[in-house]
């Protein structure tokens, strides 16, 4: 999701375990000196500085980064959403919500496996999502009829040492929700570290509304003091043995009607979870309005980074420039065509984008900018030339690239020119913000 500028190092953080300080490293999006996950090496093999004596080695073992897996119950029916599609499969910018959540977990390099529990009827849908959006490290298990049963099924898959399973029992397991797509690496790390120390940990948030208890006749019995209570949110993390033991011990009533994993750890393993303050972004997509909010938040993520590429016959080193551009997490391209034939540069950019995988996860907006100097070419003629953008746009739309044209009127009058440019900038901002497929292939005029 564009990624946070801060990255967290699990190993370094664990070494500072006593004070729970987090070491934040700016900028980098790869995890060089933290505990290497399976995808880039063997677990736990990161070289330690210097040779260790036995006592040191034991102390080091206590401090070493735990192996971590994540469990995502996704068997819900989404009845509160008021739509037939379960909420985790509702599309945001044409991609299912759960894919955003998977992406948020996948980009955390120290989460080794992600086990998703889905109902039998949605198993194929889920497999398609994994394939289409190229998710990695995902294992699927069948969901149970309640959330707790789904989590239990996922934990069993991690616990059992099945011959054909690529899953291994982790030291710490994160439990998250499929419908909380904006979870950040920082809070995941915080709950994992706290779980390693306390056995269990969970994110909390202040209450927005006062909580009350009704009497049997539907009247107010008592209200709770808001400041003394918190909403229990996700993610939560547990020592695997603690939460697995709790699920094995717990009653059918708990599995049917319980809502809180932290409560199971407390009740059956006497483990008091550490509570970690989370950010507002942890909220759970529950109602239809939450889908609207999630879509606006995701659209807002794109607004900050835009590549503006000005091309002309003289200045053009297009290919190298473009290679550079698409290495960065940028989903907006403004291609200003100067002195080249109408769509030459735009076409080059589109070819490059089509070859890359950039538009798999998010729609990429490309705005092809052209100038109209009425003195040299009549307006109508220029428009007719530029109308080929419609066919071009139709073609690249299939690859999730949203192409629009912008014709900037270029008068001699300085004030009028400024007005044109100001309006052009406003149109570009609108197209980037809205990312609306309905406007694909249009030629807007500033």
Closer residue to its own copies (CB): 16 or 379:
379
CB 333 within 8 A of CB 364: yes
238 upstream amide cis, omega within 30 of 0 = no
Give the number of other CB atoms < 10 A from CB of residue 255.
18
For residue 136, the minimal CB distance to its own copies (Å) is: 29
344 SS3 class? helix
For residue 238, the minimal CB distance to its own copies (Å) is: 12
* Distance of alpha carbon 28 from alpha carbon 35, whole angstroms: 15
Closer residue to its own copies (CB): 308 or 426:
426
User: What's the first-to-final CA gap in the chain, in angstroms?
Assistant: 31
Both tokens of 40, joined, read 């880039």
57 SS3 class? helix
* Distance of alpha carbon 121 from alpha carbon 100, whole angstroms: 21
Closer residue to its own copies (CB): 5 or 437:
437
For residue 317, the minimal CB distance to its own copies (Å) is: 33
Closer residue to its own copies (CB): 65 or 393:
393
Closer residue to its own copies (CB): 170 or 181:
181
For residue 147, the minimal CB distance to its own copies (Å) is: 11
Closer residue to its own copies (CB): 170 or 202:
202
Closer residue to its own copies (CB): 266 or 421:
266
Q: Side-chain half-sphere of 186: how many Cα atoms within 13 Å?
A: 18
For residue 434, the minimal CB distance to its own copies (Å) is: 6
Give the number of other CB atoms < 10 A from CB of residue 226.
13
Backbone angles phi, psi at 244, to 5 degrees: -70, -45
Closer residue to its own copies (CB): 224 or 360:
224
For residue 52, the minimal CB distance to its own copies (Å) is: 33
Closer residue to its own copies (CB): 184 or 290:
290
Closer residue to its own copies (CB): 141 or 444:
444
For residue 199, the minimal CB distance to its own copies (Å) is: 10
For residue 232, the minimal CB distance to its own copies (Å) is: 5
Q: What are the b/e assignments for 12-41, b being 16+ CB within 10 Å?
A: bbbeeeeeeebbbeeeeeebeebbbbbeee
Q: Give 363: exposed, middle or buried? Use CB within 10 Å, 0-12, 13-18, 19+.
A: buried
Q: What are the b/e assignments for 53-86, b being 16+ CB within 10 Å?
A: eeeeeeeeeeebbbbbbbbbbbbbebeebeeeeb
For residue 234, the minimal CB distance to its own copies (Å) is: 9
Q: Estimate the crossing angle of helix 261-269 against helix 147-159, to 10 degrees.
A: 60
CB 333 within 8 A of CB 381: no
Identify which of 394, 423, 381, 418 has the alpha carbon closest to the alpha carbon of residue 406. 423
């Amino acid at each position: 999701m564009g990624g946070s500028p801060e990255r967290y190092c699990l190993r370094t953080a664990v070494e500072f375990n006593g004070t729970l300080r987090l070491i934040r490293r700016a900028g980098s999006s790869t995890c060089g000196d933290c505990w290497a996950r399976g995808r880039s090496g063997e677990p736990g093999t990161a070289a330690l500085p210097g040779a260790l004596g036995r006592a040191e080695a034991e102390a080091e073992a206590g401090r070493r980064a735990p192996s971590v897996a994540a469990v995502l119950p996704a068997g819900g029916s989404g009845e509160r959403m008021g739509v037939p599609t379960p909420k985790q499969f509702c599309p945001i910018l044409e991609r299912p919500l759960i894919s955003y959540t998977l992406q948020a977990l996948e980009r955390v390099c120290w989460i080794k496996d992600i086990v998703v529990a889905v109902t039998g009827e949605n198993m194929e849908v889920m497999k398609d999502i994994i394939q289409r959006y190229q998710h990695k490290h995902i294992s699927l298990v069948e969901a149970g009829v309640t959330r707790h049963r789904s989590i239990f099924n996922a934990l069993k898959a991690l616990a059992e040492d099945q011959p054909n399973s690529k899953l291994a029992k982790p030291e710490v397991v994160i439990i998250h929700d499929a419908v909380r797509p904006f979870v950040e690496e920082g809070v995941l790390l915080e709950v994992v570290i706290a779980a390693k120390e306390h056995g269990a940990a969970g994110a909390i948030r202040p209450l927005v509304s006062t909580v009350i208890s009704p009497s049997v006749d539907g009247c107010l019995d008592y209200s709770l003091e808001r400041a003394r209570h918190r909403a229990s949110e996700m993610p939560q993390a547990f020592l695997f043995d603690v939460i697995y033991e709790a699920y094995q011990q717990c009653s059918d009533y708990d599995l049917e009607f319980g809502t809180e994993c932290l409560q199971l750890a407390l009740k059956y393993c006497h483990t008091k979870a550490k509570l970690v303050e989370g950010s507002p972004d942890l909220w759970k997509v529950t109602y239809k309005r939450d889908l609207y909010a999630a879509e606006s938040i995701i659209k807002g993520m794109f607004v900050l980074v835009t590549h503006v590429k000005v091309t002309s016959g003289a200045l053009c080193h297009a290919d190298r420039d473009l290679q550079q551009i698409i290495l960065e997490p940028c989903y907006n391209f403004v291609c200003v065509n100067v002195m080249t034939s109408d769509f030459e540069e735009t076409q080059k950019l589109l070819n490059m984008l089509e070859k890359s995988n950039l538009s798999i996860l998010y729609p990429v907006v490309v705005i092809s900018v052209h100038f109209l100097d009425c003195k040299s070419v009549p307006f109508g003629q220029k428009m007719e030339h530029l109308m080929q953008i419609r066919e071009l746009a139709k073609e690249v739309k299939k690859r999730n690239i949203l192409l629009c044209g912008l014709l900037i009127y270029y008068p001699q009058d300085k004030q009028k020119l400024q007005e044109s440019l100001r309006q052009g900038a406003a149109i570009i901002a609108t197209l980037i913000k809205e990312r609306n497929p309905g406007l694909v292939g249009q030629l807007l005029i500033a």
